[in-house]
Amino acid sequence: MFKDSLSFSHFRNRLAHADALPQLVLLGIISGLFSGLVILAFRLLIDLPLEFWLPENNSENFEGLPTWLRFALPVGGSIATFLLLWKLLPATRKVGVVHVLERLSYHQGHLPAKNMLVQFFGAVIALLSGHAVGREGPAIHLGAACGSLIGQGLRLPNNSLRLLVGCGVAAAISAAFNTPLAGVIFSMEVILMEYTVIGFTPVLVASVTAALLIRVTYGDESAFTIPALQIQSLSEVPFVILLGIFCALLAAGFIRIMIQTQKSVSWPMGVRLLVAGLLTGLVAIWYPQVMGLGYDTVSEVMQGNTGLTLLAGLLISKWLLTPIVLGLGIPGGLIGPSLYVGAVAGATFAVLIAPYTGESHSGVGFYAMLGMGAMMGAVLNAPLAALIALLELTGNPNIIFPGMLAIVVASTTVRFFFNQPSIFLSSLKAQGLDYRQEPLTQALSRLGVASVMNTSFVRCDRVIGCESAIKVLEQRPEWLVLEDKQGIPRYILLPSDLQHFIDRQAERHGFDPQLELDLMEMPAIRKDIASLGINATLKEALDQMNNEQLDALWIQNYSKEITGTLTREQVEQFYTQKTD
């Protein structure tokens, strides 16, 4: 098979090193293409049925449905979601960005295919039935799983698997919003939580590949209809700051509502899903605009075509409904709804301040767009990704200054005044988990054990003849690997200790080539060793040494044979160099 060929083995081993940029770029292209195809199928499976049966063949026209159907549709969707999930194990039901972060932190980026399928069909059901959730969070899970499954299928080192997850995430955001650069920044700011040249390039390639695929299919249009935006006067700067604070309050409440719902509601899964459907149906009777993605409503809001009463109703409804139904377990996303809430909040704010700004008022669309960026930056704790998204969605560099101001104010207020990290990390914390990203952890996770391990070793039986020992020493190995009767490596021994013992024996009794030496009985420093797969990272190696109280490991290849040794000193030498 190709994946076991000699050339591919070399390709795979190169990925364990820090300078494997050509290999990572190639994988980034493959990951972007695979992720883009999956997201394309995901979008088409939602858009085509909705266009077929919603009024006017508009995939977002839930408002045109009869009142009874607006109520019944989310309830039916909840029942269908329950039928999808009820026989699955709890671990298989885990979906979304939080699941991706958990698998990155605790499972080296190994995302299961079953969870990917649950996310795919669960989100399709939720969006087809008009639940007030988004498609971007599910798309991130799908993209991350695509990258991970490519790496798992090719049995790539875990350090490259992590980066492939980042490539898939960037491709997913790019394909969902048609914003390739925002996809890259989101992946590195929220998922990988680091910026490196080696990491940036393949993630960028993956994002561009997915964007190209989506633009061939859907064209160049943005997800929203954006009017021309520009701040009219510097006298509006205080209002921009106030908008940032307003969005921060909404973001903090959004996060808290969702987390409290997750923590406090302990009903059976079927009851939780049914309640989510009933709540959505009830709200949709009066405000059908909250159903589905709601991008048509956002576009209308930014055009300034919505009155203050309706804006206030939509703001309160979406702000309360989405975090509750997500907390109850509907497998949808929250990025799109956060943009919706931000846009409506910005428009509401613009209408309220219009009497105080006079002719310098920059327009409802301007504040709606700033609200989108501020809300996204505050909820996700991703200010740079939010700013880049603003720039790509508007295509207007004049939005940068007021956008930066609103986003920084909102993000800083939520992070430091409300002491809340991103909604994803808050959800992980609520589950008793932690997304550990210390600098040392990141450095050790970037390299595979194959890049550091020692391949200069000789395998020996416990008892060896003196003449055979001399021949072994003539090979000048770094380590002698001692095996048990089943041929399993158990200890490593320095050759210098064996040489010293032979020399002492020769001085005392003369050299006897037939003399048998017990390498476990002679005076020497021996290290206990345990096995570790060659796809592991240096972080995994150090964790295993600490957990098992070992100072060395033997590295086994994909055929379960020893291919090298790794000592604690080698790992410590690596990260000592990194901190110098």
Q: Is the pLDDT of residue 504 over 60?
A: yes
Looking at residue 231, its pLDDT comes to: 80
Whole-angstrom CA distances from 443 to 17, 239, 346, 545, 576 are 12, 43, 41, 17, 11
Q: Is the pLDDT of residue 563 over 70?
A: yes
- Residues 202, 288: one domain? no
What share of the chain in percent tops pLDDT 90?
Answer: 70
27 in any annotated domain = yes
- Is the model more confident about 345 or about 390? 345
Side-chain-side CA neighbours of residue 300 (13 Å) = 13
- Residues 475, 401: one domain? no
The 3 state secondary structure assigned to 338-378 is: HHHHHHHHHHHHHHHHHHHHHHHCCCHHHHHHHHHHHHHHH
CA dist., res. 36 & res. 33, Å (int): 5
Looking at residue 577, its pLDDT comes to: 64
Which domain CATH number covers 543?
Answer: 3.10.580.10
Looking at residue 2, its pLDDT comes to: 44
Q: Is the pLDDT of residue 329 over 50?
A: yes
Q: Decide: residue 503, CB within 10 A, 0-12 exposed, 13-18 middle, 19+ buried.
A: exposed
Which domain CATH number covers 372?
Answer: 1.10.3080.10
Whole-angstrom CA distances from 375 to 187, 290, 305, 413, 494 are 18, 17, 21, 11, 60
Strand partners for 459 = 481
- Residues 283, 370: one domain? yes
Mean pLDDT of 441-450: 85
- Residues 280, 253: one domain? yes
Looking at residue 5, its pLDDT comes to: 67
Q: Is the pLDDT of residue 406 over 70?
A: yes
3-class DSSP assignment, residue 488: coil
- Residues 256, 175: one domain? no
- Residues 202, 247: one domain? no
pLDDT, the chain, mean: 91
Cα(first)–Cα(last) distance of the chain, in Å? 44
Whole-angstrom CA distances from 410 to 188, 236, 312, 376, 509 are 20, 17, 20, 9, 82
Q: Is the pLDDT of residue 218 over 60?
A: yes
Of 413, 343, 349, which Cα lies nearest the Cα of 383?
413
Looking at residue 225, its pLDDT comes to: 67
439 in any annotated domain = no
Q: Is the pLDDT of residue 256 over 60?
A: yes
Q: How many domains does the chain have?
A: 3
56 in any annotated domain = yes
- Residues 554, 499: one domain? yes
Q: Is the pLDDT of residue 275 over 70?
A: yes
Mean pLDDT of 126-152: 97
Q: Of 224, 258, 290, which one is at a domain's C-terminal end? A: 224
pLDDT category of residue 511 using cuts at 50, 70 and 90:
low
160 in any annotated domain = yes
What share of the chain in percent tops pLDDT 70?
Answer: 96
Looking at residue 560, its pLDDT comes to: 87
Mean pLDDT of 367-372: 95
A 10 A CB-CB count for 198 gives: 16
- Residues 268, 380: one domain? yes
- Residues 455, 517: one domain? yes
Of 533, 528, 538, which Cα lies nearest the Cα of 572?
538
Looking at residue 318, its pLDDT comes to: 98
Mean pLDDT of 290-297: 94
Q: Is the pLDDT of residue 223 over 90?
A: no
Q: Is the pLDDT of residue 288 over 50?
A: yes
| Contact in structure between 54 and 64 (CB atoms under 8 Å) | yes
248 in any annotated domain = yes
442 in any annotated domain = no
Q: Of 224, 246, 269, which one is at a domain's C-terminal end? A: 224
* Domain that includes residue 299, residue range: 234-430
Mean pLDDT of 13-18: 85
- Residues 284, 353: one domain? yes
CA dist., res. 302 & res. 142, Å (int): 30
Looking at residue 198, its pLDDT comes to: 81
Mean pLDDT of 495-517: 82
22 in any annotated domain = yes
Q: Is the pLDDT of residue 422 over 80?
A: yes
| Sequence-separated (6 or more) residues with CB below 8 Å from residue 386 | 373, 374, 376, 377, 380, 403, 407, 411
Q: Of 183, 199, 224, which one is at a domain's C-terminal end? A: 224
Of 198, 153, 193, which Cα lies nearest the Cα of 23?
198
- Residues 180, 295: one domain? no
- Residues 21, 121: one domain? yes
| Contact in structure between 495 and 477 (CB atoms under 8 Å) | yes
Q: Is the pLDDT of residue 221 over 50?
A: yes
3-class DSSP assignment, residue 459: strand
Q: Is the pLDDT of residue 1 over 50?
A: no
Ramachandran assignment for 549, one of left (phi > 0), alpha (psi -120 to 50 degrees), beta (any other): left
Looking at residue 3, its pLDDT comes to: 47
pLDDT category of residue 232 using cuts at 50, 70 and 90:
confident
